[in-house]
Every structure is written in C-alpha cells, then in structure tokens.
Structure 1
Amino acid sequence: MVINMKIKDKKLKKLVDVSDEDCLHRPCYWPRLDPGVFTQGVGYKTRSGKQEWLCGNREIRGCPIPKPDPNL
C-alpha cells in the first residue's frame, strides 16, 4: 500500500513528499526538487504548478522492500 504524505524537512525548511512519517530518518531518504516527467528523446518536462520537493529514491526506484529501519 502506497501512502503519500508531506513532511517538513527541518534542514531544507520545505515540505517533502514521502511515503511515511519515518522516511526523513531512513538511509534511503533523498530529498530533491521534482524534475518533472521524463520522455526519452525529449528530456524532462515540468509538471503543471509549482516545483515541489520529493524523495528521489521513491520517485525513481520506489521504496525498498522491506524499508530500512529509521536512524533515530
């Protein structure tokens, strides 16, 4: 089950789209600006609206299964 939520990253001072509240403390967490939609041969095209932050690993590869333990 995929859950989307936005959690405030205190270092970035931005909301980041992640799958659960512990993601900020997991080793797989990689915050990055949403580059948009990629089309081969064309490149990236921005999504409509403002550019937001998301977990890059989740966007590119999906969350690892099982998820690593948070480093609390």
Structure 2
Amino acid sequence: MTGEAATTAVKRHALTILHALEEADAQLVGKAVVLTDGTAGTVEAIWLDDLHGLRISITGHPGKGPVSALKFAQG
C-alpha cells in the first residue's frame, strides 16, 4: 500500500468511527438507562476514551462507565 493509499484508508476508518460516535450520541444522550451495577439515570454525555473506547456519563452519578454496561430502562 502506498503512502497516499494508506492515508486514505486511515481517513476512511476515522470517518467511520466519528460517524458511529455521532449515531451513538443521537441515540443515547437523554435516554433513561440502567447500568449493569443497578445505577439508573439519564445519559448526559458520550465520548471516546483512548484506553477504554466508547464511554458514557449518567446524570447525577459520579464516574464514567463503558457503554457496554448499560441497558435501556423499560417504560
């Protein structure tokens, strides 16, 4: 793969990740959720963490958890 082709592939991969982050943000922020540890609340923010991947914060609760730890609240 040439330098230009590699750069194009990296840019395409980065855009795919950013698109997925935007979709997750639109689908999750403001939604009522329950974390697997029983913590309940509303998703207030989503971001990418270099070490852990996609992370969330829940309104009214300190700390930041992985998105994989949440379940949508049944209403």
Would you say same fold, with TM above 0.5?
A: no
* Larger proportion of helix: 2
TM-score by length of 1: 0.25
TM-score by length of 2: 0.24
